[in-house]
Amino acid sequence: MSMNNYIPKEPVAIACNIEKTLEVLGGKWAFLVLRELFCGTRRFGELQRAIPSVSPRSLTSTLRHLEEMGVLEREVHPTVPVTVEYTLTPKGEDLHQILKEMKLWAAKWT
Q: How far apart are CA 32 and CA 45, in angstroms?
A: 14
Note the pLDDT of residue 100.
92
Query: Which CATH class for the 14-109 domain?
Result: mainly alpha
Structure letter (DSSP) for residue 30: H
Residue 27's pLDDT is what?
85
pLDDT at 24: 86
Q: What single-letter amino acid sits at 6?
A: Y
Domain ranges for the chain: 14-109
Q: Which residues contact 31 (CB under 8 A, 6 or more apart)?
A: 25, 99
Which residues of the chain fall below pLDDT 70? 1-9, 11-15
